[in-house]
């Protein structure tokens, strides 16, 4: 199987998930794990029905002596001491994730799983079977119920996302008794149940639905296997189609389809038996649902945002005008003079020079002149 190809916001997480999916597909085909993406090994062996070799368990190396160990229900953790804080978070998640996966698949899963968390890629080589890919921060081995993660170069949040993704892969393998299913089904289930909401995945679906160039369901496996330019869109479609199959009242129906696969039915037969309709009809219904959710909602939100922007702009403009009006009202008017000075219009105004110049003369009818700041009567 292949890992998620659409987590563009986190390139390291994207590459790790691709390696995780590819390795888990071929790890179950024999003692050697699959090559990492780009190594020339096709990642779809398990989708064709490969099973784990009995000798694979015997070749699993023992846990290094310095590793710490912790049980979280049926999930056993073995980890490098530097990963202590990360494993505490993973251990707290293990129980809820296992319950969520069991509910989605309609049966208890992950009855016995081992998660090994290495400190680095070099440390990881000591805890995986011989022949496993190198320099990949995440690997799954379905035949062993084993998930191996590397803390470096990933951060805690990315390791948590890959742990959920890998547990979803192992759970689906267990629920279907590792019978062959299409690659899109395995990829879509792991992506949808990984708990990671990718904006890149949403944008790819929105753009493809708007242009009406979604990849047909029957072509998804080819796009995922050959890693074409449409691989991100194919992975996004696979995850969203699985979301549709599991949504609301169809969740129990999805579990019945998985049970039918476990009993030996092919996935198309299982879907037709559980949903009482063929895969083609479900694909058409999903496309209509996708149009409502991916097209109408963005248009509605875009129109609402536009009107909010217009209203906000009008409000800011009105507020600026009110502020300007208040500022103008606070300014004092300029007076030409007092009433008494207006009555003596024939008396010239002279610049004040000291306090004596400010005092008016009592007798305004006598001719006067000002000299050096004093008034003098003309005789």
Domain presence at residue 263: yes
- pLDDT under 70: residue ranges of the chain: 1-58, 135, 197-200, 293-307, 331-367, 369, 378-379
Domain presence at residue 86: yes
Return the pLDDT at 331.
67
Interatomic CA distance for residues 264 and 210, integer angstroms: 38
Tokens of 243: 């979301």
Domain presence at residue 313: no
Return the pLDDT at 213.
83
Residue 100: give its domain's CATH number: 3.40.30.160
Interatomic CA distance for residues 63 and 128, integer angstroms: 10
Return the pLDDT at 305.
61
Tokens of 255: 């579990």
Return the pLDDT at 53.
33
Return the pLDDT at 197.
65
Domain presence at residue 322: no
Domain presence at residue 349: no
Beta carbons within 10 angstroms of residue 263's beta carbon: 11
Return the pLDDT at 28.
43
Peptide linkage before 153 cis (omega within 30 of 0): yes
Residue 71 makes CB contacts below 8 A (sequence gap 6+) with 77
Domain presence at residue 41: yes
Decide: 119 and 83 in contact? Cβ < 8 Å. Answer: yes
Runs of H (alpha helix) within the chain:
11-27, 55-58, 84-105, 121-124, 156-175, 183-192, 199-211, 220-226, 231-246, 250-262, 267-275, 279-291, 297-329, 339-343, 355-358
Beta carbons within 10 angstroms of residue 185's beta carbon: 25
Return the pLDDT at 83.
92
Domain presence at residue 373: no
Interatomic CA distance for residues 90 and 276, integer angstroms: 39
Q: What is the pTM of this model?
A: 0.65
Exposed, middle or buried by CB within 10 Å (0-12, 13-18, 19+), for 55? exposed
**Do strands 146-150 and 138-141 pair parallel, antiparallel, or not at all (unpaired)?**
antiparallel
Return the pLDDT at 226.
78
Share of the chain above pLDDT 70, in %: 68
For residue 11, give Cα distances in angstroms to 124, 154, 262, 339, 373: 20, 10, 35, 83, 86
Rounded to 5 degrees, what are φ and ψ at 212? 60, 45
Domain count, the chain: 1
Decide: 167 and 195 in contact? Cβ < 8 Å. Answer: no
Domain presence at residue 354: no
Domain, as residue range, for 107: 11-297
Interatomic CA distance for residues 133 and 137, integer angstroms: 10
């Amino acid at each position: 199987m292949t890992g998620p190809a659409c987590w563009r916001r986190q390139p390291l997480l994207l590459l790790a998930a691709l390696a995780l999916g590819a390795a888990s597909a071929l790890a179950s085909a024999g003692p050697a794990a699959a090559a990492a993406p780009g190594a020339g090994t096709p990642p779809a062996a398990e989708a064709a029905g490969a099973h784990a070799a009995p000798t694979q368990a015997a070749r699993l190396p023992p846990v290094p002596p310095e590793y710490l160990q912790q049980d979280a229900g049926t999930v056993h953790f073995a980890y490098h001491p530097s990963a202590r804080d990360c494993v505490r978070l993973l251990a707290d998640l293990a129980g809820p994730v296992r319950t969520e996966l069991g509910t989605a698949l309609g049966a208890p899963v992950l009855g016995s799983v081992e998660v090994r968390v290495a400190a680095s890629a070099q440390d990881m080589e000591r805890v995986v079977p011989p022949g496993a890919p190198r320099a990949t921060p995440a690997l799954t081995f379905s035949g062993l119920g084993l998930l191996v993660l590397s803390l470096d170069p990933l951060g805690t949040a990315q390791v948590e996302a890959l742990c959920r993704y890998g547990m979803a892969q192992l759970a689906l393998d267990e629920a279907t008794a590792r019978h062959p299913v299409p690659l899109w089904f395995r990829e879509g289930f792991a992506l949808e149940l990984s708990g990671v909401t990718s904006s890149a995945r949403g944008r790819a679906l929105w753009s493809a639905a708007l242009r009406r160039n979604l990849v047909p369901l029957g072509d998804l496996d080819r796009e995922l296997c050959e890693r074409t330019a449409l691989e991100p869109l194919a992975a996004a479609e696979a995850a969203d189609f699985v979301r549709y199959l599991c949504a609301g009242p169809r969740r129990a129906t999805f579990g019945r389809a998985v049970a039918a696969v476990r009993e030996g039915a092919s996935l198309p037969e299982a879907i037709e038996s559980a949903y009482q309709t063929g895969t083609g009809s479900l694909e058409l219904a999903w496309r209509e649902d996708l149009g409502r959710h991916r097209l109408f909602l963005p248009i509605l939100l875009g129109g609402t945002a536009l009107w909010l922007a217009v209203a906000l702009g009008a409000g800011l403009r009105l507020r600026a005008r009110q502020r300007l009006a208040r500022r103008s009202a606070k300014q004092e008017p300029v007076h030409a003079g007092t009433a008494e000075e207006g009555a003596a219009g024939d008396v010239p105004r002279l610049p004040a020079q000291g306090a004596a110049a400010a005092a008016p003369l009592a007798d305004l009818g006598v001719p006067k002149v000002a000299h050096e700041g004093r008034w003098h009567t003309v005789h």
